[in-house]
Amino acid sequence: MSDGSSSESTITRDDVAHVARLARLTLSEAELDTFTGQLADVLEHARDVEALDVSGVPPMSHPYPLTNVLRDDVAGPTLDRQEVLDQAPAVEDGRFRVPPILGEEP
Amino acid sequence: MSGTAPGLASAVAIAAAVRSGEATATEVVEGYLAEIEAREGDIHAFNLVLADEAREAAAALDRRVAAGEDPGPLAGVPIALKDNLTTRGIPTTCSSRILEGWCPPYDATVVERVAGAGAISIGKTNLDEFAMGSSTENSAFGPTRNPHDTSRVPGGSSGGSAAAVAAGFAPISLGSDTGGSIRQPAALCGVVGVKPTYGLVSRYGLVAFASSLDQIGPFASTVADAALVLDVIAGHDPLDSTSIPAPVVPVTPVLGDGVEGLRIGLVTELMGEGIAPDVAARVQAAAEALEAAGAKVGEASVPAVTYGLSAYYLIAPAEASSNLSRYDGVRYGLRVDAATTGEMMTATRTAGFGDEVKRRIMLGTYALSAGYYDAYYGKALKVRTLIARDFAAAYEQYDLLLSPTSPTTAFELGAKTADPLTMYLNDTCTIPTNLVGHAAISVPYGTGDDGLPVGVQVLAPALAEPTMFRAAAVLEEAAR
């Protein structure tokens, strides 16, 4: 992958395949073509931001400068465990059940 | 065509009648259910109509009134809820296959608050999947149609909530606004829509899209109804650590205070290129009406808003890509079985998300990925600071700002679905408010050349909702 400098032309088909893998999405060949074009359009529009000189400007990740919000360490009401587990695709012994993690039979 | 169904009163009038015993909640609910029965097939405002639940809640409320209790300021008022607000034991889909059938184990704070004030939930409304869109066409369950012209979109993403009020299916509704998702559909459907200050309304139970931008707000057919709902849902909530820990100043008491002496600036950067001339003309007319009512109206410049769209479409997808990583087929919603957990997660997400959601997840993942973070996401956050500075400078000269809500009136279904960037341009006027966490309201102000509703946007600094509502009330009166 490139260093992402502003001289970089546009997002490539390989870039899209890479981010799809990172985001755990499978794309067909046709989808890869369509999404590459559409994402390139959006990033092309974002060139105005890329070209802007913002050196010395602090980033704003949130509307307000929040610091950690703490509560008193006392027990309060929580979700009902059975009600939560009732919504899970698979459950065993009061826990969420998933297929083998490493592809081996347990 | 009239937006509001005939014979149905405002939320203010309904609550007064139910509290005084002049009307029963049951009569009110039956009236709205009949409207839904008659026209919902043409509109598709709802993912789910809660007919039985609403009847039961109305009967219970009527028993309380008969016993001498006061159920509260929204007594017996039906309310439609955007289907990204959690409702305990009632399906909450976000109009996505990945959450189809999910019954949340808790209510959103706003759902508890409106119920606590006597409102009756009448249904869960359609939206663009996970609130990503400007037309409600990105719903896994099919589009919602504009009640003023069913060949047109209602706007989005809260298109179902806007259409429900415009069609007379409910006097009030709740939506969420991340880049204009309350205000733009309100404008296109000819109703009032409010995006409150970030942190004024608890987001607990709002399914997260972009956490630094999302905010819940009301739709209504009158400014007074919107004020009534906002006063009920606003306020600190320990369950949302971003909610503002300060007492709320209610807006209802100042609705009649007028705009005499207020300084109101028309945002020049949002009145030029890309804004349809008939829409711009209505905003000019609104400015003149405010001036006639005693406001000092001038031109305001907020230069950095022209970068808002680009910054937003880097920041919002970046936050979304993180927030939506939770849909992995493990704890709730869809699971597509596969041999390993990793394969199961990929198969589930691939089958469960629609195209627009996939686009934004990938865009966000890209903007955050190694080598691109500084050029895209990092830079967008700095642009956000520039926009905030420009707004701060404009608000030294003006109390409020004015702009169009949407660049055009409602467009045809299918007109913009093939080209995501064209769709994104709908949000040009609304996005800046979310980026800086301020408040804004869209008020219907006549129609465009095509006879469809035009919305005028009143923008206000953080927590200046009382001033904003004063101007909105004046505009509503002038539009009559």
Cis-peptide, bond into residue A28, ω within 30° of zero: no
Task: For B400-434, write each residue's pLDDT tens digit.
Answer: 999 999 999 999 999 999 899 889 999 999 999 99
State residue A9's pLDDT score.
54
H helix and E strand count, chain B: 15, 11
User: Between vectors from CA A6 to CA A3 and to CA A7, what angle results, nearest 5°?
Assistant: 85
State residue A66's pLDDT score.
74
| Contacting residues of B for A79, CB less than 8 Å apart | 105-106
Higher pLDDT, A46 or B445: B445
Tokens standing for residue B428: 């040009």
Q: State in Å, rounded, how far the first CA of chain A is from the last one.
A: 38
> Predicted confidence band at A50 (pLDDT cuts at 50, 70, 90)?
confident
Low-confidence residues of chain B: pLDDT under 50 = 1-7
Higher pLDDT, A10 or B54: B54
Closest in A23, A57, A59 to B362, CB measured: A23
> Predicted confidence band at A8 (pLDDT cuts at 50, 70, 90)?
low
- What does the alpha-carbon distance between residue B68 and residue B450 come to, in Å, rounded to a whole number? 51
The tokens 């598709």 sit on which residue?
B44
Does a structural domain hold residue B414?
no
State residue B219's pLDDT score.
98
Lowest-pLDDT range, A40-44, A67-71, B61-65, B400-404?
Answer: A67-71
3-state class of A29 per DSSP?
helix
Provide the CATH topology of domain A1-53.
Histone, subunit A (1.10.20)
CA distance to B217, B286, B290, B463, per residue, from B297 (Å)? 27, 10, 7, 21
Indicate whether A2 pLDDT > 70: no
State residue B1's pLDDT score.
33
> Predicted confidence band at A103 (pLDDT cuts at 50, 70, 90)?
low
Nearest one of A41, A44, A57, A63 to B432, comparing CA atoms: A63
B181 is known as an active-site residue = yes
B121 is known as an active-site residue = no
- What does the alpha-carbon distance between residue A44 and residue A51 come to, in Å, rounded to a whole number? 11
Residue A93 DSSP code: T
State residue B299's pLDDT score.
98
User: How many domains does chain B contain in total?
Assistant: 1
Domain harbouring B137, CATH code = 3.90.1300.10
Q: Which of B236, B345, B382 is the mutation pick for testing A, counting most A CBs within 10 A? A: B382
Indicate whether A1 pLDDT > 60: no
State residue B162's pLDDT score.
98
Task: For B216-268, write each residue's pLDDT tens digit.
Answer: 999 999 999 999 999 999 999 999 999 999 999 999 999 999 999 999 999 99
Q: Where are the alpha helices (DSSP H) in B21-152?
A: 25-43, 51-66, 109-116
- What does the alpha-carbon distance between residue B259 and residue B294 come to, in Å, rounded to a whole number? 6
- What does the alpha-carbon distance between residue A30 and residue B435 come to, in Å, rounded to a whole number? 34
B82 is known as an active-site residue = yes
The tokens 């004063």 sit on which residue?
B470
Indicate whether A4 pLDDT > 50: no
Q: Which domain holds residue B228?
A: 11-245+439-479
Please list, in sequence order, all residues whose beta carbon lies within 8 angstroms of the beta carbon of residue B374, skipping any fewer than 6 positions away: A4
> Predicted confidence band at A105 (pLDDT cuts at 50, 70, 90)?
low
The tokens 């520039």 sit on which residue?
B386
Minimal C-alpha gap between A16 and chain B (Å):
7
Closest in A59, A98, A99 to B378, CB measured: A59
State residue A10's pLDDT score.
82
Query: Given B10, B82, B124, B406, which residue is catalytic?
Result: B82
Residues constituting chain B: 480
pTM to 2 decimal places: 0.96
Domain boundaries in chain A?
1-53
Question: What is the DSSP annotation of B194-254?
Answer: EEPPTTTB--TTBPPS-TTT--EEEEESSHHHHHHHHHHHBS--TT-TTS--S----SGGG
> Predicted confidence band at A6 (pLDDT cuts at 50, 70, 90)?
very low
Q: Does residue B205 contact residue B86 with C-beta atoms inside 8 Å? A: yes
| Share above pLDDT 90 across residues of chain A, in percent, rounded to a whole number | 63
